[in-house]
Amino acid sequence: MLAEAVQSYLSVRRAAGYALHQVALHLRSFAAYSDAKAQNYVSAETAIQWAQQSPSVLQRARRLGDVRRLALYLRAEDARHEIPPTVFGKERRPRPAPYILTDEQICRIIELAAQSGYRTLRRQTYSTFFALLACTGLRVSEAIHLRYEDITPDGLVIRATKFRKSRLVPLHDTARAGLERYLKQRRPYAPFDDHVFISLRRKPLRIEDVESAFRTVADQMGLPRGRGRRRPTPHSLRHGFAVRALLNCPDSRDRISQHMLMLSTYLGHCKAELTYWYLEAVPDLMESIAERCEAYFTGGKP
């Protein structure tokens, strides 16, 4: 019975645009665990026992959270379903502050990518790829999936990306010119594949390829690396774009709100709070916020 309820719950949420790959695995596992105990309704005790099978506390919290949301959905129609308490704490760690590259570092990354490896299309591929991330704020996956038809007179069409949203990203004339220079070399290299960026294997880039190429130039620059510390990644180019956009934010309260909403939409964020997260990243931004707050509480304009 719980297996049918799980399928109904997943169908409703997927119709709302959620993918839920890992959630589906968790809930089907929980349903099978409950069926083995001959339980047709969500039991808080059983849910905690099932979640405890994971090796880490964070994984237990995530598994239990998935069951809690299922129970909330089912209990709306049947009070026999119990909502388990959050005994394992929060499901997510605090989001770490991003590593923000300076304009000089970004230019150096692009320059080194254009010199890295053999004298092949690889150099143009990664220098253009990194430059595009830096000047548009695209996610790595979005740039990887770009196809010829996505380059339009109005900009780049980003199709059904994260959260199944599509959006249009305008291109500056210089960015468009750089992209066209690359495509003149790229088109004859793999004429039967219409992905904008390809590897030397004549296939679309993989995220591992991009990360490897980025690490190569980051190591040449002496940028930090390793787990457990703030370090640059290809996404740091996207973060840099967002921070530059915030640093250029207008002064008035209404225009700030409009600017943040437009930037959130431009970046493809599903929540404005994901855009405000960048405010923590740069001391200049935090100093500006503090100055405005001080001015407001001392009688000045916000």
Q: Which CATH number fits the domain that encloses residue 179? A: 1.10.443.10
* Rounded Cα distance, 213 and 231, in Å: 15
Catalytic residue among 37, 162, 201, 203: 162
Q: Reply yes or no on whether 238 is catalytic.
A: yes
For the chain, give percent helix, strand, coil, nearest 5: 60, 5, 35
Q: CB of 93 within 8 A of CB of 62?
A: no
- Same domain (yes/no): 213, 277: no
Catalytic residue among 126, 182, 266, 278: 278
Q: Reply yes or no on whether 145 is catalytic.
A: no
* Rounded Cα distance, 226 and 224, in Å: 7
Catalytic residue among 75, 108, 139, 159: 139
Q: Which residue among 175, 200, 228 closes a domain?
A: 228
Total domains, the chain: 3
Q: How much is the pTM? A: 0.68
* Rounded Cα distance, 251 and 292, in Å: 10
> Do the domain assignments include residue 82?
no
The torsion angle over the Cα atoms of residues 21, 27, 29 and 33, rounded to 10 degrees, is: 180
Q: Reply yes or no on whether 266 is catalytic.
A: no
> Do the domain assignments include residue 93?
no
> Do the domain assignments include residue 221?
yes
Catalytic residue among 269, 271, 292, 296: 269
Please list the pLDDT of the chain residue by residue as tens digits (302 residues). Answer: 799 999 999 999 988 777 888 999 999 999 999 999 999 999 999 999 999 999 999 999 999 999 999 999 999 999 999 999 999 998 887 766 778 888 999 999 999 999 987 778 999 999 999 999 999 988 899 999 999 999 999 999 988 665 567 788 889 999 999 999 999 999 999 999 999 999 988 999 999 999 999 999 999 999 987 665 678 999 889 888 877 777 776 665 555 556 566 666 667 665 655 665 666 656 565 566 556 655 655 665 55
- Same domain (yes/no): 201, 250: no
Q: Reply yes or no on whether 172 is catalytic.
A: no
* Rounded Cα distance, 48 and 88, in Å: 9
* Rounded Cα distance, 129 and 235, in Å: 12
Tokens representing 114 are 């254009």
Q: Reply yes or no on whether 81 is catalytic.
A: no
Q: Which residues contact 254 (CB under 8 A, 6 or more apart)?
A: none
Using DSSP, state whether 300 is helix, strand or coil. coil
Catalytic residue among 81, 235, 239, 266: 235
Q: Reply yes or no on whether 269 is catalytic.
A: yes
Range of the domain at 157: 103-228
> Do the domain assignments include residue 90?
no
* Rounded Cα distance, 252 and 259, in Å: 10
